[in-house]
Amino acid sequence: MTADFRWGLIGPGRIAHRFAQALAHHGCGVLQAVASRSEQRAQAFASKYNASFVYTNYDDLFAAADVDGVYIATPHNFHFEQIAACIKAGKPVLCEKPLTVTAAQTEALIELSRSHQVFLMEALWSRFLPVYQKVDYWLSKGLIGTPRLVQSNFGFNVPRNESDRLLNPNLAGGVLLDMGVYCMSMSQWVFGRSPLSANASGIVGTTGVDELMVANLDFGQHQFAQFSCNFVSQTENSLTIYGSNGHIKVDEMFWDATSASLHLANGTVEQCNEPYAQTGFEYEIMEAERCIQAGKIESDMISHKMTLETMQWMDNLRNQLNVQYPEDR
């Protein structure tokens, strides 16, 4: 898209810097406004990225006529209320993953998006990365035969701080919503559908959130996925797709990868390196802008249905470990 598209941003924290830096890409719009309950944080962020306006009241951002879309980067538990307010104000939304805390919240927002005819998309940025376009090409050509198994890991030994958001159930902490969402969504992407059944085991810590989860997913048609996510141990954080004629490996930090390799049964190996134009967020930004300017209310790549099904299965996995949030009640 062009610089005519004007973004408003809520939640100028760590991940928001990556979004703002991605807007430097020639195909993206501009940062028009920043909103935060802390005027000091909002002003510092706006000054760094040349945003024209700062708001401490979110409603003022939602009402701003010179904001074409809103990017939400606040903690998970604030997403539902903020997205709903955006949609009711007629503002298109790109919101960080997971879209909400529960599937019921996601379903309500999808209904709101449809009734108001306002764009809504989960910012699962990995799906748009160039390396995954290459992986998609390999899969579409049937180079590894029929995909049978997807294995992925997302794990780090996170310094333990029970007051931190990651371990706080009141802030929708826990490893599945924070990290496992990538494993879940990318597995669904490979097979083009949701699983028929899923089994989870893991560790629920003293604060009541999942700190380690291992999941086995049955997609039917003799296709399966396995993943682990955790806060307690460094793992090899790659994603591998095994087929009847070889496998594809997306390198470590698979959600943030720029390289992958194709390994065929005859010993042939093909490497691909796909560096970002900016930070990697520019691809989901361009998709959102394209959809919004075309008058769409959802993206075909991250559809409402896809987001809802991911949330429904994450609810299922959490329930198996008896991890509950205030939103569940």
Return the CA Rg of the chain.
Answer: 20
What is the model's pTM?
0.96
- pLDDT of 1 reads 43
Distance of CA 176 to the CA centre of its chain: 12
Dist. CA 287–CA 234, nearest whole Å: 33
Q: In what helix (H) or strand (E) does residue 110 lie, and over which residues does it extend? A: helix 103-116
> Can you name the CATH fold of 130-275+311-328?
Dihydrodipicolinate Reductase; domain 2 (3.30.360)
> Can you name the CATH fold of 6-126+286-296?
Rossmann fold (3.40.50)
- pLDDT of 3 reads 52
Domain 6-126+286-296 and domain 130-275+311-328, same fold? Reply is no
Q: Which residues are catalytic?
A: 97
- Could you give the angle at the alpha carbon of 83 between the alpha carbons of 81 and 89, nearest 5°? 105
Residue ranges covered by each domain of the chain = 6-126+286-296, 130-275+311-328
The string of pLDDT tens digits covering residues 300-316 is: 999 999 999 999 999 99
Instruction: Dig out the tokens for 124 from the structure.
Output: 């699962």
In this structure, how many other beta carbons lie within 10 angstroms of the beta carbon of residue 90? 11
Q: Environment class of residue 197 by beta-carbon count within 10 Å: exposed (0-12), middle (13-18) or buried (19+)?
A: exposed
Ranges under pLDDT 50 in the chain: 1
The string of pLDDT tens digits covering residues 169-212 is: 999 999 999 999 999 999 999 999 999 999 999 999 999 999 99
Q: What are the counts of helices (DSSP H) followed by strands (DSSP E) for the chain?
A: 10, 14
* SS3 category, 84: helix
- pLDDT of 120 reads 98
- pLDDT of 4 reads 86
